[in-house]
Chain A
């Protein structure tokens, strides 16, 4: 089938501001939007810029605004989206070229929550024990691929770019609710600030945007509860 794409283009070497361009390519209905971008770049316009790697929704490279909502281009099938397929970069990050945005601030915030297991007790000889129930407690937030779809769909983040954002909170949640972690206090205090969890207004855009199906708003709510109760 012939598929029409409307792409919001921006070339930093040439353009002062972005503009729309339309392309048509032959695709299978079951092809991914990413296949469409690859076809455009390969056959029509080699200047198109976007990030991509695994092409099946695991690496988190190709989050973008497809028909007005954040999706991974590789997890969105052509047959499931209306034509023309409009694509824009994620909102709220500086656009570097076409759909490539500056992720450095995003990863800075990720680092800010101390996204690693904090250990105080000595390591045992073998594995630490953790029951399946304890493991289940933080399973949802281990799925995060740091694509940025949640943070850039969040009106609170658009309004205040200093907000740490849902993705960083999801990463913090993954450790706060891990029975093996011994750094909950430090992490909760990072999040218990004006730019931390309290910026979240439970708008649920993040839940809808997450390509991994993480219940992001619930995770943020659980972190808020943990701060209020002073324990998990």
Chain B
């Protein structure tokens, strides 16, 4: 058993994790302590999914036209269909401005205005004067903003001497006597278990889009952090809200940035009609993602998909080819590579793609994990980014706000850790900290049934896409719960072919599938419970938002084989809930 001691351990090396690591390291240095912060990631940090974010990071810099963080906050709250915690949204939209400047200071190569300022462009749901018209708020670096953020923040971590454990897959969280005291990880290269004994753990492990068949998410986005925390008896929040991005490449799900519509791209059905005019008269193609995805599903259902199939066109052919070349080079490359299409000449076939979990590990505004209806803090445990739920995205996240979230709350989490660690003692480890993990590995390795990880995963993804995606209805959700029970049973009957120790990725995929099955169950259970339609959660049998009964967050705990639900209020400060129209 290898035991490492650190002041803080960050799990996940995307934007949120790296930002937290930077801040925690700097904070502890300022305190006069020698900071011992480790970042654990199952990937090399530069492989993290932050790197695939395209269109930009929202901040009311006002570089091209008047803008205010209050407008950004209003858009965020309304975009989230009023399920957003407004205290958190206020912090995010205020701090977005200084954090974007900070990223620039770190060296992020933003695209520039003719005056040399950070360039900004319109994005879905971002408006001026509380909804009057689109505003240029998304700060971008061509269509590879996430790549630049990931690279830049990683570069700064190198500069600061942050300690990395690359290709360490965290599989368990250690809690002893009510205190967070570490994590257990599998070193992928050797198969050995390592215990990280620490005062503070921050999860920044990203989303779980791989529970769906069509997704923009990396193959590695299997909800590991959420799954680990859930299994340790802590709740997950608002898991019924899963965002489908309207423009994934048909059949593949690869993301085509909303920035394409920000630059003037238009969605068209089989008759060439700009159908978004019928669904969102003011913002049209730049309406929020949940509305556009539903509109596409409706067009397809009513027979207006292209060639009668389940996709529509994203048309960029009327744009200046120079704009496409300068501002959308990566998506041009994707479309050419995977579809053989020049987007300046032919429209792009697109369909909604599973993109973002609004829900996750509940936290407060300091990224401290909270564990009940009263928001009691779990000492030493933090979460930030997509795996967390602050909640700044409510029922539907606005485009660009995921990058704002990771940077602002990653930073806040790192700061909170920097303050917590010097005051906290290193809590004792439980006896045999690796016991549970060893048992789980043994069970998976000894499995002698006829099932394979890939087959169960494929069925899960297909069924979730069919029964719990853009539109939901009771019979489908009930059926999905039955399917999940069956899949879980079959999961126990898996036989692994790889009996080795070094880079046994089949074993890790089995761990990942376990998380996906758990999280799908939570998602469907919460979706079945929430008898209303709000943001990305759209119930055909309950088509209206129901504030008197459902303006509340859901919390879900593991309860034996079942899921226990509870609810907590939404923080409403500046903006009273109104009807959501665009």
Q: Does the CB pair A55–B219 fall under 8 Å?
A: yes
Q: Any chain A CB within 8 A of the CB of B575?
A: no
Q: Any chain A CB within 8 A of the CB of B6?
A: no
Q: Mark A115-146, 1 if CB is under 8 A from B, else 0.
A: 11101000101111111101100110011011
- What's the dominant secondary structure at chain A's contact region? loop
Between A51, A58, A134, the greatest number of chain B beta carbons within 10 A of the residue's beta carbon is seen for A58
Instruction: Assess A111 versus B502: contact at CB under 8 Å? Given A54-B49, A117-B107.
Output: no
Comparing B292-300, B385-393, B449-457, B464-472, the segment that makes contact with chain A is B449-457
Q: Does the CB pair A46–B506 fall under 8 Å?
A: yes
Tell me the minimal C-beta distance from A30 to chain B in angstroms: 7
Q: Any chain A CB within 8 A of the CB of B44?
A: yes
Q: Any chain A CB within 8 A of the CB of B480?
A: no
Q: Mark B188-216, 1 if CB is under 8 A from A, else 0.
A: 01000000000000000000000000000
Tell me the minimal C-beta distance from A101 to chain B in angstroms: 11
Residue in chain A with minimal CB distance to B146: A58
Which residues of A are found within 8 Å of B121, using beta-carbon distances?
Answer: none
Instruction: Assess A49 versus B47: contact at CB under 8 Å? Given A55-B219, A77-B337.
Output: no
Q: Any chain B CB within 8 A of the CB of A57?
A: yes
Residue in chain B with minimal CB distance to A14: B500
Which residues of A are found within 8 Å of B113, using beta-carbon distances?
Answer: 132
Q: Does the CB pair A61–B189 fall under 8 Å?
A: no
Tell me the minimal C-beta distance from B501 to chain A in angstroms: 6
State in angstroms the CA–CA spacing of A49 and B509 once bound together.
12
Q: Does the CB pair A52–B452 fall under 8 Å?
A: no
Q: Does the CB pair B502–A130 fall under 8 Å?
A: no
Q: Does the CB pair B337–A57 fall under 8 Å?
A: yes
Comparing B154-162, B176-184, B554-562, the segment that makes contact with chain A is B154-162
Q: Does the CB pair B109–A42 fall under 8 Å?
A: no
Q: Any chain B CB within 8 A of the CB of A41?
A: yes
Which residues of B are found within 8 Å of A43, using beta-carbon distances?
Answer: 452, 454
Tell me the minimal C-beta distance from A145 to chain B in angstroms: 7
Comparing B73-81, B98-106, B370-378, B545-553, the segment that makes contact with chain A is B98-106
Which residues of B are found within 8 Å of A49, using beta-carbon distances?
Answer: 503, 505
Taking residues whose C-beta sits less than 8 angstroms from the other chain, chain B's interface range is 35 or more
Instruction: Assess A47 versus B498: contact at CB under 8 Å? Given A59-B51, A60-B46, A127-B101.
Output: yes
Between A47, A59, A129, the greatest number of chain B beta carbons within 10 A of the residue's beta carbon is seen for A59
Which residues of A are found within 8 Å of B107, using beta-carbon distances?
Answer: 116-117, 175, 178, 180-181
Tell me the minimal C-beta distance from B532 to chain A in angstroms: 35
Q: Does the CB pair B500–A128 fall under 8 Å?
A: no
Q: B43-70: which residues lie under 8 A (CB-CB) from chain A?
A: 43-44, 46-49, 51-52, 61
Q: Does the CB pair B101–A46 fall under 8 Å?
A: no
Q: Any chain A CB within 8 A of the CB of B437?
A: no
Q: Any chain A CB within 8 A of the CB of B497?
A: yes
Q: Does the CB pair A59–B501 fall under 8 Å?
A: no
Which residues of A are found within 8 Å of B523, using beta-carbon distances?
Answer: none
Q: Any chain A CB within 8 A of the CB of B530?
A: no
Which residues of B are found within 8 Å of A32, using beta-carbon distances?
Answer: 338
Q: Does the CB pair A54–B51 fall under 8 Å?
A: yes
Q: Any chain B CB within 8 A of the CB of A11?
A: yes
State in angstroms the CA–CA spacing of A123 and B101 once bound together.
10
Instruction: Assess A12 versus B115: contact at CB under 8 Å? Given A59-B47, A59-B51.
Output: no
Q: Any chain A CB within 8 A of the CB of B274?
A: no
State in angstroms the CA–CA spacing of A54 and B206 once bound together.
13
Residue in chain A with minimal CB distance to B114: A132
Q: Does the CB pair A11–B500 fall under 8 Å?
A: yes
State in angstroms the CA–CA spacing of A178 and B148 once bound together.
14
Residue in chain B with minimal CB distance to A49: B503
Q: B85-134: which residues lie under 8 A (CB-CB) from chain A?
A: 100-101, 104-107, 109-118
Q: Does the CB pair B46–A52 fall under 8 Å?
A: no
Residue in chain B with minimal CB distance to A97: B503
Q: Does the CB pair B52–A130 fall under 8 Å?
A: no
State in angstroms the CA–CA spacing of A126 and B148 once bound together.
19
Q: Does the CB pair A107–B498 fall under 8 Å?
A: no
Q: Any chain B CB within 8 A of the CB of A103?
A: yes
Which residues of B are found within 8 Å of A174, using beta-carbon distances?
Answer: 109
Q: Any chain B CB within 8 A of the CB of A192?
A: no
Q: Does the CB pair B51–A46 fall under 8 Å?
A: no
Which residues of B are found within 8 Å of A96, using beta-carbon distances?
Answer: 189, 502-503
Q: A48-101: which residues lie under 8 A (CB-CB) from chain B?
A: 49-61, 75, 77, 96-98, 100
Q: Does the CB pair B218–A45 fall under 8 Å?
A: no
Question: Which one of B44, B110, B158 lies within 8 Å of A116 (CB-CB)?
Answer: B158
Q: Does the CB pair B155–A13 fall under 8 Å?
A: no
Q: Does the CB pair B158–A103 fall under 8 Å?
A: no
Q: Does the CB pair A128–B44 fall under 8 Å?
A: no
Q: Any chain A CB within 8 A of the CB of B366?
A: no
Q: Mark A144-185, 1 if CB is under 8 A from B, else 0.
A: 011000000000000000000000000000110010110000
Q: Any chain A CB within 8 A of the CB of B484?
A: no
Which residues of B are found within 8 Å of A175, using beta-carbon distances?
Answer: 107
Question: Which one of A13, A123, A125, A135 lies within 8 Å of B500 (CB-CB)?
Answer: A13
Tell me the minimal C-beta distance from A25 to chain B in angstroms: 12
State in angstroms the CA–CA spacing of A98 and B218 once bound together.
21
Instruction: Assess A132 versus B112: contact at CB under 8 Å? Given A13-B500, A58-B147.
Output: yes
Which residues of B are found within 8 Å of A45, using beta-carbon distances?
Answer: 497
Instruction: Assess A56 versus B502: contact at CB under 8 Å? Given A42-B454, A46-B453, A77-B337.
Output: no
Residue in chain B with minimal CB distance to A133: B112
State in angstroms the CA–CA spacing of A143 and B104 once bound together.
17
Q: Any chain A CB within 8 A of the CB of B144?
A: yes
Q: Does the CB pair A53–B338 fall under 8 Å?
A: no
State in angstroms the CA–CA spacing of A181 and B129 once bound together.
38
Q: Any chain A CB within 8 A of the CB of B496?
A: yes
Which residues of B are found within 8 Å of A50, using beta-carbon distances?
Answer: 505
Residue in chain A with minimal CB distance to B46: A146
Q: B432-464: which residues lie under 8 A (CB-CB) from chain A?
A: 452-455, 458
Which residues of A are found within 8 Å of B496, using beta-carbon distances?
Answer: 46
Q: Does the CB pair B106–A117 fall under 8 Å?
A: yes
State in angstroms the CA–CA spacing of A100 and B117 once bound together.
42
Residue in chain A with minimal CB distance to B105: A123
State in angstroms the CA–CA spacing of A181 and B330 once bound together.
26
Instruction: Assess A59 versus B497: contact at CB under 8 Å? Given A30-B338, A97-B502, A97-B503.
Output: no
Which residues of A are found within 8 Å of B47, using beta-carbon distances?
Answer: 51, 53-54, 59-61
State in angstroms the CA–CA spacing of A43 and B453 once bound together.
9
Tell me the minimal C-beta distance from A80 to chain B in angstroms: 9
Instruction: Assess A42 versus B112: contact at CB under 8 Å? Given A13-B502, A96-B502, A128-B104.
Output: no
Q: Does the CB pair A128–B105 fall under 8 Å?
A: yes
CB within 8 Å of B: which residues of A?
11-14, 30, 32, 38, 41-43, 45-47, 49-61, 75, 77, 96-98, 100, 103, 107, 111, 114-117, 119, 123, 125-132, 134-135, 138-139, 142-143, 145-146, 174-175, 178, 180-181, 213
Extra inter-chain contacts (7) besides given A116-B159, A131-B112, CB under 8 Å: A42-B454, A56-B338, A60-B47, A61-B47, A97-B503, A117-B107, A145-B46
**Could you name 27 residue pairs across A and B whose Cβ atoms are closer than 8 Å?**
A12-B502, A13-B500, A38-B219, A38-B454, A41-B505, A46-B452, A46-B506, A52-B220, A53-B43, A53-B220, A54-B219, A59-B51, A60-B47, A97-B503, A100-B503, A114-B159, A115-B155, A127-B100, A127-B101, A127-B104, A127-B117, A131-B112, A131-B116, A138-B109, A139-B142, A142-B141, A143-B144
